[in-house]
Chains A and B, each alone.
Chain A
């Protein structure tokens, strides 16, 4: 023990709760898009439709929470006025709109049944840009050497796996009528959540320093919460549960696990002082900023769901020639 601080200052959190919301939504959106494409290949367009709709809703919901985390949102065009290739966030600034656009257009193509050729290109674009987004979101934090909790191999892996689990979960929540499709999704959820659990365990326990660091800045209850409720439970439910209800419950648990993991790692890393072995007070759950970010994002998702539903129920038939088909869209 070197001593005590007689004069010391605390550093504010640069990334606020909106960043957590954005990372959750965009992760799930990409996972849902990948699921949609996989189901389309394996089970056909109809089976993939719910996944594509969820992907559309979440993709539409992602930009606003991201914008909310900028302190100067009016200047977001600055991302596009110059090239900053050394900045992962700069790549993200291009990948995100690419993914959102391709996903929405692919959804439009699917809903209206037109532009078959373009639809295929759009879907490939969606998958490509989606994988790009997964890479940039994981990379953006992992390259920050000054944040040991992010700057390691474990964190990006668990981040990605929890994204995949939450994406699959979101689709299961929305409901997948095609039984084989649902079973495939449940396997995907179980696989990613299980792998996430193993990765989390390996990441934290293998390296004693990392364990000490994590436990110093993240309460054990949060980590336990993430592991048990967020990863183990959905995996087990997905494997052994029967019926839509257990699938939906597994989905909710997976989404909750992804959210809890991101909250723990964002507040934990930023609470950890880089100049002293000290912890800055993280924003409390009841903080106005925290509540605002959650309510705002939930509202955005609901609005996106309504828009996609309107697309399916009213807009698509007007544009389409073929018979009207499409599930009832529901609030994620």
Chain B
């Protein structure tokens, strides 16, 4: 899906606050051999221990409003032939090959870079929420403070500095593997070759670029669950918002 906004890869990332030294070429997103990477993530669920390090690292790194998530790890207790077992399912934006969230934007605020990263220009977004409706993975939300669409950016500001996304850096089990799917030698390419991987909601036709190793069939689309943590929350009623109360 080419972007209508002709942003050079690598040049687009302009981060808030102090400017980081601009990575000289060749950079992570402009490799020496001149090919344009296509970033993707492989989640090896066999290695996830559900410690939520990625959830917190992402929220801290990107100053996400507390209670909203660019990535998080639901934990389900599901039945298997060996009895009940926890199933961890790290969720995030799939940076789809055919993202349904981009065409619906009425002001061209959201677009996909050449190397596959779906971004939102939060200085253009009018906060209409249409892209939030269109995402089949609930990977977008409207940021409480800026009122604009907010989502995983693969930590593009870190990629431009030659670094890895915050969630990958701190993944305790090593379940999160990020890399260039167009490079056959990359870790993601090798994992995809060695294991049968699956995507979430293939029926949505968005060609997601987050691949799961060891994904149970019952977790592929809407996970059929009964009363659990959510039921507890709803039974306890809305917890008073302590976020501001604390910082006072």
Whether B74 pairs with A5 at a CB distance below 8 angstroms is yes
Residues of B within 8 A of A79 (CB): 106-107, 126
Q: Give the docked Cα–Cα distance between A255 and B124 (Å).
A: 36
Q: In the complex, A14→B86 CA distance in Å?
A: 31
The answer to whether B128 touches A146, judged by C-beta atoms less than 8 angstroms apart, is: no
Q: Which residue of B lies closest to A92 (CB)?
A: B106
Task: Please count how many residues in chain A sit with their CB below 8 Å of the partner chain's CB atoms.
Answer: 47
Which of A5, A71, A144, A281 contacts B75, CB < 8 Å?
A5
Q: Which residues of B contact A6 (CB under 8 A)?
A: 75-77, 86, 228-229
Residues from 59 to 111 in B contacting A, C-beta threshold 8 Å: 68-69, 72-79, 84, 86-87, 91, 100, 103-109
> Is B134 an interface position by the 8 A CB rule?
yes
How far is the CB of A148 from the nearest CB of chain B, in Å? 10
Interface check B148, CB cutoff 8 A: yes
A276 touches B104 (CB 8 A): no
Measured as residues with beta carbon below 8 angstroms from the partner, the interface class of chain B is 35 or more
Main secondary structure of the interface of B (DSSP, over half): loop
- Take A3-B87, A276-B225 as given contacts and tell me if A15 and B105 are in contact as well, using a CB distance cutoff of 8 Å: no
- B244 on the interface (CB 8 Å rule)? no
Q: From A83-91, A113-121, A224-232, A288-296, give the one contacting chain B.
A: A83-91
Contact of B225 among A3, A72, A145, A146 (CB under 8 A): A3
For A75, what are the chain B residues with a Cβ–Cβ distance below 8 Å? 107, 124-127
**B77, B87, B228, B238 pick with most chain A CB within 10 angstroms:** B228
With A3-B79, A281-B234: A8-B141 Cβ-Cβ less than 8 Å: no
Q: Does B13 contact A (CB under 8 A)?
A: no
Tell me which residues across on chain A come within 8 A of B135, comparing CB atoms.
Answer: 146
Is B222 on the interface with A (CB-CB < 8 A)?
yes
Give the 10 A-B residue pairs with the shortest CB-CB distance, closest first. Answer: A71-B127, A14-B129, A71-B147, A4-B228, A3-B78, A86-B103, A14-B132, A5-B228, A89-B106, A90-B106
Residues of chain B at the chain A interface (Cβ within 8 Å):
50, 52, 68-69, 72-79, 84, 86-87, 91, 100, 103-109, 124-130, 132-138, 141-142, 146-148, 204-205, 218-219, 222-230, 233-234, 238
Q: Which residues of A contact B (CB under 8 A)?
A: 1-12, 14-15, 69-73, 75-76, 78-79, 81-82, 84, 86-90, 92-93, 140, 143-147, 270, 273-278, 281
